[in-house]
Amino acid sequence: MFPECDVLTRNEWGGVNATQEEDLPRPIDLVIIQHTATDTCNTDEECQEYVQWIQIYHMQSLNYWDIGPNFLIGGNGKVYEGPGWLHMGAHTHGYNRKSVGISFIGNFNDIIPTNASLLAAEKLIECGVTEEHLSPSYSLVGHRQLRPTESPGKNLYEIIQKWPHYLENVDDIINN
Protein backbone atom coordinates (compact mmCIF):
# COMPACT_ATOMS: atom_id res chain seq x y z
CA MET A 1 0.00 0.00 0.00
CA PHE A 2 0.97 3.61 -0.44
CA PRO A 3 1.09 4.27 3.31
CA GLU A 4 0.27 7.95 2.90
CA CYS A 5 -2.93 7.30 0.96
CA ASP A 6 -4.03 3.77 1.90
CA VAL A 7 -4.07 2.56 -1.72
CA LEU A 8 -3.57 -1.06 -2.78
CA THR A 9 -0.78 -1.19 -5.34
CA ARG A 10 -1.13 -3.20 -8.53
CA ASN A 11 1.19 -5.83 -6.97
CA GLU A 12 -1.21 -6.15 -4.04
CA TRP A 13 -4.29 -6.58 -6.23
CA GLY A 14 -2.53 -8.81 -8.77
CA GLY A 15 -2.30 -6.38 -11.67
CA VAL A 16 0.26 -6.24 -14.43
CA ASN A 17 2.50 -3.28 -15.22
CA ALA A 18 1.45 -0.71 -17.80
CA THR A 19 2.88 -1.19 -21.28
CA GLN A 20 3.62 2.56 -21.46
CA GLU A 21 3.31 5.53 -19.12
CA GLU A 22 2.91 9.26 -19.61
CA ASP A 23 3.52 11.56 -16.66
CA LEU A 24 0.70 13.77 -15.41
CA PRO A 25 1.60 17.39 -14.70
CA ARG A 26 1.14 18.16 -11.02
CA PRO A 27 -0.55 19.44 -9.06
CA ILE A 28 -3.67 18.15 -10.77
CA ASP A 29 -6.64 20.54 -10.91
CA LEU A 30 -9.47 18.20 -11.87
CA VAL A 31 -10.99 15.06 -10.30
CA ILE A 32 -13.50 13.13 -12.41
CA ILE A 33 -15.82 10.71 -10.60
CA GLN A 34 -17.05 7.72 -12.62
CA HIS A 35 -18.50 4.26 -12.28
CA THR A 36 -17.48 1.06 -14.05
CA ALA A 37 -21.08 0.24 -15.09
CA THR A 38 -20.48 -3.36 -13.98
CA ASP A 39 -21.80 -5.33 -11.06
CA THR A 40 -20.54 -4.05 -7.74
CA CYS A 41 -18.17 -5.84 -5.38
CA ASN A 42 -18.21 -5.93 -1.60
CA THR A 43 -15.54 -8.42 -0.49
CA ASP A 44 -11.78 -8.13 -0.89
CA GLU A 45 -11.64 -11.24 -3.09
CA GLU A 46 -14.54 -10.13 -5.29
CA CYS A 47 -13.16 -6.60 -5.74
CA GLN A 48 -9.68 -7.85 -6.56
CA GLU A 49 -11.13 -10.13 -9.25
CA TYR A 50 -13.15 -7.24 -10.73
CA VAL A 51 -10.12 -4.94 -10.86
CA GLN A 52 -8.04 -7.67 -12.52
CA TRP A 53 -10.82 -8.33 -15.05
CA ILE A 54 -11.21 -4.61 -15.82
CA GLN A 55 -7.46 -4.27 -16.39
CA ILE A 56 -7.41 -7.27 -18.74
CA TYR A 57 -10.41 -5.88 -20.66
CA HIS A 58 -8.89 -2.41 -20.96
CA MET A 59 -5.47 -3.65 -22.06
CA GLN A 60 -6.43 -6.59 -24.28
CA SER A 61 -9.76 -5.51 -25.77
CA LEU A 62 -9.41 -1.71 -25.82
CA ASN A 63 -5.62 -1.63 -26.31
CA TYR A 64 -5.08 0.77 -23.40
CA TRP A 65 -1.61 0.98 -21.84
CA ASP A 66 -3.09 0.12 -18.44
CA ILE A 67 -6.37 -0.01 -16.58
CA GLY A 68 -8.19 3.22 -17.48
CA PRO A 69 -9.03 4.96 -14.19
CA ASN A 70 -6.24 6.37 -12.04
CA PHE A 71 -7.94 4.71 -9.05
CA LEU A 72 -10.85 2.30 -8.55
CA ILE A 73 -12.91 1.99 -5.38
CA GLY A 74 -14.75 -1.14 -4.31
CA GLY A 75 -17.83 -1.48 -2.16
CA ASN A 76 -15.45 -2.92 0.45
CA GLY A 77 -13.98 0.57 0.93
CA LYS A 78 -10.60 -0.31 -0.60
CA VAL A 79 -8.83 1.88 -3.16
CA TYR A 80 -7.05 0.12 -6.04
CA GLU A 81 -4.15 1.74 -7.89
CA GLY A 82 -4.40 2.22 -11.63
CA PRO A 83 -1.98 4.72 -13.17
CA GLY A 84 -2.20 6.52 -9.81
CA TRP A 85 -1.28 10.13 -9.10
CA LEU A 86 1.80 10.24 -11.31
CA HIS A 87 0.65 8.87 -14.67
CA MET A 88 -2.07 9.64 -17.18
CA GLY A 89 -5.10 7.38 -17.15
CA ALA A 90 -7.51 6.55 -19.98
CA HIS A 91 -10.86 7.42 -18.43
CA THR A 92 -12.33 10.57 -20.02
CA HIS A 93 -11.44 11.34 -23.64
CA GLY A 94 -10.08 14.86 -23.93
CA TYR A 95 -9.34 15.20 -20.20
CA ASN A 96 -6.86 12.42 -19.40
CA ARG A 97 -3.81 14.69 -19.52
CA LYS A 98 -5.19 17.12 -16.96
CA SER A 99 -7.23 15.05 -14.51
CA VAL A 100 -7.44 12.08 -12.20
CA GLY A 101 -10.24 9.60 -12.81
CA ILE A 102 -11.68 7.85 -9.76
CA SER A 103 -14.03 5.03 -10.70
CA PHE A 104 -16.43 3.33 -8.29
CA ILE A 105 -16.90 -0.35 -9.10
CA GLY A 106 -20.57 -0.88 -9.91
CA ASN A 107 -23.50 0.71 -11.71
CA PHE A 108 -24.95 3.45 -9.56
CA ASN A 109 -28.06 4.19 -11.59
CA ASP A 110 -29.95 1.58 -9.57
CA ILE A 111 -27.93 1.09 -6.40
CA ILE A 112 -26.36 3.42 -3.86
CA PRO A 113 -22.61 3.26 -3.19
CA THR A 114 -21.58 1.91 0.20
CA ASN A 115 -20.60 4.33 2.95
CA ALA A 116 -17.20 2.61 3.02
CA SER A 117 -16.60 3.39 -0.67
CA LEU A 118 -17.69 7.02 -0.29
CA LEU A 119 -15.44 7.50 2.73
CA ALA A 120 -12.53 5.88 0.86
CA ALA A 121 -12.97 8.32 -2.04
CA GLU A 122 -13.11 11.32 0.27
CA LYS A 123 -9.96 10.16 2.09
CA LEU A 124 -8.15 9.51 -1.20
CA ILE A 125 -8.93 13.02 -2.44
CA GLU A 126 -7.91 14.55 0.91
CA CYS A 127 -4.66 12.61 0.74
CA GLY A 128 -4.08 13.80 -2.82
CA VAL A 129 -4.21 17.38 -1.60
CA THR A 130 -2.04 16.69 1.47
CA GLU A 131 0.60 14.90 -0.62
CA GLU A 132 0.48 17.75 -3.19
CA HIS A 133 -0.71 15.55 -6.04
CA LEU A 134 -3.94 17.58 -6.22
CA SER A 135 -4.16 21.35 -6.17
CA PRO A 136 -5.84 22.66 -2.98
CA SER A 137 -8.26 24.44 -5.34
CA TYR A 138 -9.05 21.34 -7.46
CA SER A 139 -12.48 20.98 -9.07
CA LEU A 140 -14.54 17.79 -8.84
CA VAL A 141 -17.03 16.75 -11.52
CA GLY A 142 -19.05 13.77 -12.60
CA HIS A 143 -18.05 11.98 -15.81
CA ARG A 144 -21.45 12.85 -17.35
CA GLN A 145 -20.67 16.56 -17.16
CA LEU A 146 -17.82 16.17 -19.66
CA ARG A 147 -18.89 13.27 -21.90
CA PRO A 148 -22.22 11.85 -23.15
CA THR A 149 -22.54 9.06 -20.56
CA GLU A 150 -24.65 8.08 -17.56
CA SER A 151 -21.47 7.68 -15.48
CA PRO A 152 -21.13 7.95 -12.52
CA GLY A 153 -24.75 6.83 -12.32
CA LYS A 154 -27.71 8.84 -11.05
CA ASN A 155 -27.30 7.94 -7.37
CA LEU A 156 -23.55 8.54 -7.12
CA TYR A 157 -23.88 11.76 -9.11
CA GLU A 158 -26.46 13.09 -6.63
CA ILE A 159 -24.03 12.36 -3.78
CA ILE A 160 -20.94 14.00 -5.30
CA GLN A 161 -22.88 17.19 -6.00
CA LYS A 162 -22.75 17.76 -2.21
CA TRP A 163 -18.99 17.19 -1.93
CA PRO A 164 -16.49 20.00 -1.43
CA HIS A 165 -15.02 21.34 -4.68
CA TYR A 166 -17.94 20.03 -6.77
CA LEU A 167 -18.14 22.21 -9.89
CA GLU A 168 -21.62 22.61 -11.34
CA ASN A 169 -20.74 24.83 -14.30
CA VAL A 170 -18.05 23.10 -16.37
CA ASP A 171 -17.93 25.67 -19.20
CA ASP A 172 -14.43 26.82 -18.24
CA ILE A 173 -13.17 23.23 -18.18
CA ILE A 174 -14.79 22.31 -21.49
CA ASN A 175 -13.38 25.40 -23.21
CA ASN A 176 -9.78 24.78 -22.06
Q: Which domains are seen in the chain, by residue range?
A: 7-12+34-164 (3.40.80.10)
What is the tens place of the pLDDT at every residue in 14-67? 999 999 999 999 999 999 999 999 999 999 999 999 999 999 999 999 999 999
Q: How far apart are CA 70 and CA 20, in angstroms?
A: 14
pLDDT at 171: 87
Strands (E), 91-145: 100-104, 134-142
Taking 70 as the threshold, does the pLDDT of residue 176 lie above it? no
pLDDT at 175: 63
Does pTM top 0.75 for this prediction? yes
